[in-house]
Structures are given as structure tokens and as C-alpha cells.
Amino acid sequence: MANYLELHCHSNYSFQEGASSIEELLVRAKELGYPALALTDHDNLCGAMEFAGAARSLDIQPIIGCEVTLQGGSHLTLLAATRDGYANLCRLVTAAYVFGERKDPQLDPALLADHAEGLVLLTGCAEGEVPSLVSRGQMVEARRRLEEYREWFGPENVYLELQQNLVHGDTSRIKALVGLGEELGLRTVATNNVHYHVRERHRLQDCLVAIKHKKSLEETHRERRPNSEFYLKSAEEMADLFAEIPEAIDSTLRIAEQCSFDLSRDLGYSFPDYAVPEGHSQESYLEELCNQAAIRRYGAVTPQVAERLAQEFRLIRKHNLAGFMLLYHEVIQLGREVMVDLGLVDREVPIEEAPPGRGRGSSVSMLVGYLIGLSHIDPLQYGLSLERFLPEDSLAKVPDIDLDFPRNIREELILRVHKKYGWDRAALTGMLVTYQSKGAIRDLGKALGLPPDQIDRFAKRVETRSARRLRHEMEDLPELKGLADAPGWRDLLDLAYELDGFPRGLAQHPGGMIISSSPLIDMVPVQPSAMEGRYICQWDKNAS
């Protein structure tokens, strides 16, 4: 096992910054013998769940963190040591978006004081507030900020982050930071500000920075990193760089011991609670709603209906799903209100006759769902079996109930759900927009300075979705075949192969929504959507 691990690492979820996938970073960390690895993407936790699960599968301890942008543009590295620390991290990232700008999140440093519990603070890269002050010779201001951090987080949770990327100014800054640490009784820690898993990937990172700034490589000398040193380095390489400060290397293992929180294990999930009228339990209230609807629909609770409901209620109790079903019922009621307000249905028409949504999938086999408006299909009429949706055995995951609401009520319904539950407890599911062939051609082509007309022609003619097949596509196009090995174009094809499938950014899922009985922002950061009045969580619907 290596005696060093990386605590400042960006994946491709640092959009247009990180040039390696989570899988690539973890596989390389395993090769280097790292016992743990931290993921500290810029201003988001979009890849945190994927990272935690993948790390555990490789027997690497996952440390969840984030490099947040503070007001004024400086950076700060935060690591979740405990479950409370993870909740505070989610709240801080959320605050950076909600009280900043959607495309330019900036965290008010004053919020750190009330959200320091369970977090480990590293002072950040060369663009961190303290390192920047030190580089400018403003030692009094740097000392004052460190004293605040020490008071808020405790001296055992504040580390002066040292980065030796062989860039002019690194050595003098490290010396000054070490001096501040000795003066204030704070430890130092070595990190490498990793943006790619191996040195060779710096070519893609340069292009991503150019893409981010909508410029070519030639126009982004100032924005791009000064060299190719920002990769996952071995313990031996890092020990050589910090030979005179071995305690900074040792601190990486100490911090890993402090960070006991494991997102793949410690987050947990409990079904939403639901407040019912006095005198009712959740089960009894759900039964009453179904019996009333059965009388309206069938004229009476017939033996066939009673037998099916008894079977379903038994399974609902067994799997503790009553509150879960009632929450769906509540959303359906909101949809019903929207339909009535828009004049799409008469208030007197029973909900089971004109449900606001249309069920699909295995959930339509449930009579309870039909009676409370979750489906327009009567399972008794069509002889649908319940086994696939509600099995006798233990549930492997939360039941999947799909509700398709028509476009003419969906927009207003989303706003009403936000209003009822609050933006901190209800959010739209995130959706990652990823690079495919056409986007890779256009973005990389511009970054590489290739002729715009040829880029446009290639992007329009390409048929494959995968950017990894672009070389084959180009060789099949007579007017472009000769360009495949030409300078610039060869680079485009090679870089597109690496870029394929990379996330470009977080967007709003067209229909998925999360409603939580406890503050959602204790589990995942939430940020404003591009559409006013909507909020999205930073996890893709497939995050697991």
C-alpha cells in the first residue's frame, strides 16, 4: 500500500476541466496502490455516487469532497469526514448556486462558520484565497483568514494545502504556507490538483479549457494549465517533490482516517412519511380512499374487489409502502387541481374516471393504484397479475411507478409541487448531457483551429453517435477521406475518441422528480434550473 493518496482530484464531472473519467482515475489509483482517493470536482457532486460505488468495487476508500468557488472567484477544498459533514457539504454547494448565479456559483465564505461540522478544509490550489494572498505578499490577511478557518473548523480539521506542480511561484508559496502553519499550529498536506489520470491526457484537458472559454488553443495560453504535471502521481513522485516536508505526505493518510463517511454505505433511504387525518394510520387511510373509490367505480366493494384489495394491502403493509403510495396520491391530487383550474375536467368527475396522469409499466397491475388515480387501467378488467410489481419476496429496490402527465398540465404541476414541498425537499432529476460525435467534432474542431466549413461539413455528414467511430466515418466520406491523417484532423479524431461520452453539463430531466420527507439538500446539492421557478438535483436519474 502506498503511503500517499490524492485528496484533490477532478474527474470529467468538473465540466470542461477534468479530462479523465471516474473509472480511469480509479483504475490508475489502484495501479498506484492508493488506499483511498478523494473526488473534488468543481462546484458539484454530480459524480459522487458513481465514484463511491466504483471505488468500493476496487477496494479503494472513497472520500467525497468538492472544490467550491467563493465569492470573488477564489477556491477552497472541502472533504466530508462524517455524515453530518456530507450534509453540510451538500448545503454549501446548494447555497453557492441558489444565492449566486446558475452558471457562476459562488459561495459566501460567511456560511462556512455554520456548516463546518464534519468537514475537513484544505486551503486550495494556487487560486485558493489563502494561497493567493500569500502569493501577493498579503500575509496579515492570509493569517486572519486562517485564524477564522481554525475557529470555525477546529485546528485538527484545517490543512494548508501544498501543491508543487513545477510552476513558477510554487516553491516560494509552499515555503510561506509552511511558515504560516508552524505559526498557527496547523498541519500541511500535499496534493497535486489532479485533472487527468495520466500525463498524456493533458492534450484533452487543454482542449476542454479552450472549449469552456469558446476559444481556440492559440487564444487560451493564459487560461490553460502551464504544463502537464497535473496527473495522478505515484507515492514516490510525490515524496520526491516534498522531500523536505515529509509530514505533508503523511497528512494524506491521516486525513483519510478522519474521513469515515462512505456515500455508498452511509446515506441510506427511508420511504417518505405522510401526515394522515386524525384517527387514521397510513394503512387505514389508504384503505378508506380505495374503498370509497371502489364504491364509486363498481357500485360496491364486490367480493372480487375485496379479495384483490386484501392481497394488495397485505403486501403494502409487508413492504411498508403505505406512505409511499399516499405521497403519489398527493401528487395526483395536485395534478387534478391543475386540470380543474385549467378547465380540462369538471370537479365533479371522479378521479378514477379522469386521472390527470397515465400509468405505464408494471405498476398498472395494482388495483390500489387504479383507485387512487395512479393509472387509467383497471387491472381487474384486463386480468393483470400483481406479482411483477409487488412480489411476495423482499423488494430489491424502491417500486417503480411511472406517471405520464400531459404537456398541458406538466409545467404548472411542477411549479405546484415545488410550492407545496419547498425547493429544498422537491427537485427535478438531473440529466447529464454527454458528448457524442457531432458535438465532439464541432467543439474540438474549433479548439484546434480547423477550417469552420470543413468542420461543419463533417458534422453534418457523420451518422454514428459514438465519437469513437469518427475515423471510420471520415474514411467512408470521399471528400474527407484524405484528411484523416492530416495535421489537426488526426488530433481531432484521437481526442474525440477520448472525449466520447464525457458529460458536458447538467440539464433538467424532462419528467423525473424527487420528493423527500427530509431536506433533500442534506443528501444531494440542488441548483436552479434554466427555467425559472424550478430546481434540479445534481444527480442523474441513473446515479447509483
157-185 residues labelled b (16+ CB within 10 A) or e (exposed)? bbbbbbbbbeeeebeebbebbbebbeeee
Q: Quick one: which of 38, 42, 52, 50 has its CA closest to 19?
A: 42
Q: Quick one: which of 182, 179, 183, 184 has its CA closest to 151?
A: 184
pLDDT of residue 530: 80
Phi-psi region of 207 (alpha: psi -120 to 50; beta: other; left: phi over 0): alpha
529 SS3 class: coil
Reported as type and span, the H/E element at residue 263 is helix 263-266
Distance CA 5, CA 1 (A): 10
pLDDT of residue 353: 77
pLDDT of residue 421: 87
CATH number of 436-501: 1.10.10
| Residue 359 CB neighbours (<10 A) | 21
In this prediction the pTM is: 0.91
Cell numbers placing 293: 373509490
Q: Quick one: which of 50, 42, 38 has its CA closest to 256?
A: 38
pLDDT of residue 12: 98
Place of cell 449566486: 100
pLDDT of residue 146: 98
Q: Where are the domains of the chain?
A: 22-196+227-264, 282-421, 436-501
Distance CA 191, CA 237 (A): 12
pLDDT by residue, tens only, the chain of 544 residues: 679 999 999 999 999 999 999 999 999 999 999 999 999 999 999 999 999 999 999 999 999 999 999 999 999 999 999 999 999 999 999 999 987 666 789 999 999 999 999 999 999 999 999 999 999 999 999 999 999 999 999 999 999 999 999 999 999 999 999 999 999 999 999 999 999 999 999 999 999 999 999 999 999 999 999 999 999 999 999 999 999 999 999 999 999 999 999 998 888 766 667 888 999 999 999 999 999 999 999 999 999 999 999 999 999 999 888 988 999 899 989 999 999 999 989 998 887 778 887 777 788 889 999 999 888 889 999 998 888 788 887 766 777 787 788 888 888 898 898 888 888 888 999 999 999 999 999 999 999 999 999 999 999 988 888 888 888 888 888 877 788 889 899 999 999 999 999 999 998 887 788 888 788 999 999 998 888 878 899 998 777 6
Distance CA 46, CA 222 (A): 28
**What 3 state SS string does 222-250 have?**
CCCCCCCCCECCCHHHHHHHCCCCHHHHH
How are strands ordered across the β-sheet holding 36-39? 36-39, 61-69, 75-80, 119-122, 158-163, 187-191
CATH architecture of 22-196+227-264: Alpha-Beta Barrel (3.20)
Please report, to the nearest 10 degrees, the dihedral formed by the alpha carbons of residues 515, 516, 517, 523 taken in order.
-170
pLDDT of residue 121: 99
Distance CA 535, CA 539 (A): 12
CA 531 from chain centre, in angstroms, equals 19
pLDDT of residue 117: 98
